[in-house]
Amino acid sequence: MRLILLGPPGAGKGTQGLILTQRLEIPKVSTGEMLREAVVAGDAVGLATKSFTDRGLLVPDAIVIEIVRRRLMQEDARSGFLLDGFPRTVNQAVAVEAILIEQKQRLDAAVELKVSEAEIVERISNRRVCPNCVERSYHLQLAPPRVSGHCDECGSTLVQRDDDRAHVVRARLRTYQEQTSPLTGYYLERGLLVQVDGLRPVDEVTASVLTALEDRARAG
């Protein structure tokens, strides 16, 4: 299955992406995670990236599209994948289509998690992440670590993401409205859009996504 997970910052893309890829046995391809790894590694992509992510702006299409192109060429992504946080512009959406056409493949669905702005602010201000376990994120109230302030997996001290500071979050929301929200119409026109209420508890959101995907598959 080839899926795209859409939604504003804090909608739950990373959380659902992790669960869905385990259930569907496909790799999760998260541009946010790949860019953060590049920043930690201090490589060329990382150096080019941080000035954009720290201001809540999108990293230029050319950089991100190339990262995704290379990732989708890897063997484990040949039979399916879930893209988390990509595409974020119409230009990126066109690029995914082109990559898939080269591979003689097509997308199965673009799943959009719908959440209110108030919920986004609440979730992001409560989010803490592990600096070592890239995919591991916690919600201080709803999904806290077992030992306060420390990662369940490796015990490291949890931190707030640099781009989760309030003024950067406001910029990320603006960027989303201006550059990413047009993708809803883009995938609707192509008959690929699946919209799910992302305000409900994590397991209920997962169940809604899986049910919607099964319904689509049955409908052919």
130: closest CA among 164, 153, 101? Answer: 153
Between β-strands 193-197 and 127-129, what pairing exists: parallel, antiparallel or unpaired? unpaired
Q: Which stretch binds ligand AP5 (CB under 6 A): 39-47, 74-82, 147-155, 197-205?
A: 197-205
Between β-strands 137-139 and 127-129, what pairing exists: parallel, antiparallel or unpaired? antiparallel
Q: Considering the complex, state which of residue 26 and residue 93 has its C-beta at the smaller distance from ligand AP5.
A: 93
Structure-token match 């097509």, residue found: 106
Contact 87, 93 (CB under 8 A): yes
Q: What DSSP string describes 87-115?
A: --SHHHHHHHHHHHHHTT----EEEEEE-
- Please report how many Cα atoms fall inside a 13 Å half-sphere around the Cα of residue 73, on the Cβ side: 8
* Binding flags for ligand AP5, 151-170, as an x/- string (CB under 6 A): ------------x-------
Q: Considering the complex, state which of residue 162 and residue 217 has its C-beta at the smaller distance from ligand AP5.
A: 162
Contact 216, 187 (CB under 8 A): no
Residue 183 binds ligand AP5, judged by CB under 6 A: no
Q: Considering the complex, state which of residue 40 and residue 104 has its C-beta at the smaller distance from ligand AP5.
A: 40
Is 2 assigned a catalytic role? Answer: no
Is 218 assigned a catalytic role? Answer: no
Residue from 2, 3, 12, 93 binding ligand AP5 (CB under 6 A): 12
Is 88 assigned a catalytic role? Answer: yes
Report the interface residues with ligand AP5, using CB under 6 A. Answer: 7, 9-15, 31-32, 35, 52-53, 56-59, 64, 85-86, 88, 92, 123, 126-127, 137, 139, 142-143, 163, 172, 201-202, 205
Active site residues: 13, 88, 127, 161, 172
